[in-house]
Structure 1
């Protein structure tokens, strides 16, 4: 029998728990959880790097789900309090599919976890294929995950750019699992001369006008041609089923840039 009282510390773990049929057993969620809508009715017990440990313990969870090494201190505190904790640490799309399966199994729904992982993978391939087949070139893309310092996209974002028919100008950095190791300098972006800039500042609105106003960036093809876009972090920086929403937006952007929409 699976766990009866589940707390989800992140948006993606919340979404997966509900999607595999364990939503009625979720008793606490992250404040950043947006999908499904009914998850927003659960008690909010965590941000991302912080959580209300006392409130979590008061909910008497028999399983806490989290994501990322950034949540290691939270996981350690809960483990010391006697709670069972599962924290996945996916960075690539394949690791994301595996994490979905693992979370499904931890929730007592292994078959539904496997089915969800395959569904997400198939949908991403469909979105990507439908878009890239309409185009005869691959636009050069700079994806900005954070603005101070400039941090380029994590591995699954880089992979999505390629799946959707773009070229990530910093693809060589995708192997870096830690955000501090993906810091780029403004001059690096100028040298890369991206045709498209996509920003997704984790947890806050991207200010595209500020990006365009950076010294010298008016020379970039993306800025000259007005190809600056935002994809909300909930759609592309939460490595779970929501990546489908991000992929659809990414594909539409690349189609617009090449006139293939």
Structure 2
């Protein structure tokens, strides 16, 4: 069995299932677990996320989308060399990963048609379902069930501890710095389970652009800064983009000292097993 993972989250799932030795190709963003450094990269990005600011990234992504261009490139030669019989991909967000159409076109270089598994989770339960789906496709159903049972138990432990909590702080999750975006998909659900009041983000729906005036009107008591694809160091380096705003000082979360920078790349952006770590962090 030869697996290509076109998502960092599915790469993590493959390793959790004990199938790291079957992984023959991944993306430039796959960085966990550490063993992935020895795997060949099949997908690359035209954007250097480490060098560009959040505003520059947004401008380029918006420009590419308007022109019908992708931000990602599939290396057909490397894909052909990898020769996968299973490809794990998604159709959830073309900003975050290669599109389904690109995958369909790329596999034409292979001498066979691999099984393409497209995963589109928007809730915590659906994230767990993707683990079971990959388990079924790879003959590791038992291991997948063990993993998801353990993850569900951890979620329920948090839920049961806080479900009757009446004093729920208003929580805003900043998923992009400039322009500001509010966290979507599973993030609003995470906030609610963790004992917070989610007021702007929409469960099961993508993140979306908001204004600082809207954030001020919501008056969050806690602010979690989690730019999609950023780690803590990258976020800190760009923090003045938000802290220099006049509106920043009008937020109750600022006055209360309830500002938290979290590792979005590891615990919030990727729909994989570590999303439960993110819930526990919240």
Normalised to the residue count of structure 2, the TM-score between the two structures is 0.78
Q: Is the 8 A contact 1:12 1:239 kept in 2?
A: yes
* 1:216 aligned partner: 247
1:54 Cα offset (Å): 2.5
Query: Within 5 A, what are the aligned runs for 1:51-90?
Result: 51-69=74-92, 70=94, 71-81=99-109, 82-90=113-121
The answer to whether the 8 Å contact 2:229/2:269 transfers is no
Find the counterpart in structure 1 of residue 262 from structure 2.
Answer: 231
Q: Which runs of 5+ in 1 are unaligned?
A: 251-261
Change (3 A) 1:110 1:154: same
Cα distance in 2 between the residues matched to 1:209 and 1:142:
18
C-alpha distance in structure 2 between counterparts of 1:199 and 1:47, whole Å = 26
CA distance in 1, matches of 2:31, 2:180: 26
Alignment of 1:102-251 (within 5 A): 102-130=133-161, 132=162, 137-171=167-201, 173-176=202-205, 178-179=206-207, 182-204=208-230, 205-206=234-235, 207-233=238-264, 234-250=266-282
Deviation at 1:102, TM superposition (A): 0.5
Structure 2's unaligned 5+ residue stretches are 46-70
Q: Secondary structure at the match of 2:190?
A: helix
Q: Does the CA-based 8 Å contact 1:5-1:26 persist in structure 2? A: yes
Label 1:105 to 1:209 Cα distance change in 2 as closer, same or farther (>3 A).
same
| Whole-angstrom CA distance in 2 between matches of 1:134 and 1:54 | 55
Confirm or deny: 8 A CA contact 1:62 1:84 kept in the other structure.
yes
Kindly tell me the number of residue pairs found equivalent between the two proteins.
242
User: Do 2:178 and 2:241's aligned partners in 1 also have CA atoms closer than 8 Å?
Assistant: no
Offset at 1:237? 0.9
Mapping of residues 25-64 of structure 1, within 5 Å: 25-47=22-44, 50=72, 51-64=74-87
Deviation at 1:212? 2.4
**Cα distance in 1 for residues equivalent to 2:40 and 2:146:** 28
Q: CA RMSD in A?
A: 2.2
* Separation (CA, whole Å) in 2 of partners of 1:188 and 1:7: 41
